[in-house]
Structure 1
Amino acid sequence: MVRIPHRAVVFVGDGRKALFLRNEGDEKFPSLKTDRVFEHENPSTHSQGSDRPGRVSKASHSSQRSAVETTDWHELEESRFAKQVAAAAERLIRSEQSTRLIVVAPPRTLAELRSAFHDDVKRRIIGELDKELTKHPVGEIEKHLQG
């Protein structure tokens, strides 16, 4: 159970979508309202990359060659998106000096956000929840946060 103070922001995100929800209610009876929504098109890696994996020779006179791991374009885009929404969170936090923040994201995205958040944002975080809730309606997100 997460207590959401009045006017606190609940960030719900993953690698493709981020919601900034504001509690217009109080801690006992939260009422989350959508403040901002960010969506990012991120097709699968095979849709983004067309090249075969590269090859590297071990030595100039050797016939030994090995494959180079393919680039995971999908993962790179998720990381880039996490940085973009972390910057948006920073702008929001800086515009309202008393804003407290609750972060809800799947474990990998949560780790990306932790490293991308500015120290000012990190100081305002009062709770974290490692769940994937971006596909849920706001009412269900409230229920998940309340326990």
Structure 2
Amino acid sequence: MTKLTNGTLVVVTDSEKALFMINRTDDENPNLEIVRKEEEDNPPDREQTANRRGRVQESHGSGVSAYDETDFHELQKERFAADLADKLYKMAHAGKFERLVLVASPMVLGVMRDEMHQEVTSKIVAEIDKTLTNHPLNEIEKIVSDELAGMSDAA
């Protein structure tokens, strides 16, 4: 049974913002307190690229084609998730939490899973694939609590 026990770290993130919250009560009436907030400015790709795409002359015939352009906006999203996984490792290694609930979109969860150290994954009690970073705190508490209750019912 997955419960939001006292002291559980809840990290709600998307690809540009992360909220680190600690549950200060129990699973019956969660009270999440924001202890850290991180945001990263990630402008659209069109604002991050300045050059035209590279061109290549075909060696046979008269064709010209363009190289695929790097999507810097998407790269930054992946880098943010990887950096977050590293921060969680440092926190886990320093004994800052024993239980972790991750709340993020499936894409962010996927990148984080690839980057997370075993010391962090061993502390994960639940993953919730939702984007809640722009929700008010009381809604986050309710949604996380309801999702965990649903996981317990399904088990």
Q: TM-score, normalised by structure 2?
A: 0.87
Cα displacement (A) at 1:71: 1.0
Structure 1 unaligned regions, length at least 5: none
Q: Match of 2:29?
A: 29
Q: Match of 1:20?
A: 20
* In structure 1, distance between residues paired with 2:14 and 2:122: 21
User: Does 1:3 find its partner at 2:3?
Assistant: yes
Q: Secondary structure at the match of 1:36?
A: strand
User: Does 1:82 find its partner at 2:61?
Assistant: no
- Whether contact under 8 Å (1:38, 1:85) holds in the other structure is no
Cα displacement (A) at 1:90: 1.0
Deviations 1:13-36 (A, max 9, x none): 011100111011112221110111
After TM superposition, the structure 1 stretch with the greater mean CA deviation from structure 2, 28-37 or 38-47, is 28-37
User: Does 1:111 find its partner at 2:110?
Assistant: yes
Matches within 5 A, 1:1-147: 3-59=3-59, 62-96=61-95, 99-147=98-146
Amino acid at match of 2:92: I
* In structure 2, distance between residues paired with 1:95 and 1:141: 27
Which stretches of structure 1, 4 residues or more, deviate above 6 A after TM superposition? none
Structure 2 unaligned regions, length at least 5: 147-155
Cα displacement (A) at 1:65: 2.3
Deviations 1:77-116 (A, max 9, x none): 1111111111111111112276111100011111111111
* In structure 2, distance between residues paired with 1:73 and 1:97: 33
Cα displacement (A) at 1:40: 0.2
Amino acid at match of 2:99: R
Q: Secondary structure at the match of 1:127?
A: strand
* In structure 2, distance between residues paired with 1:78 and 1:141: 22
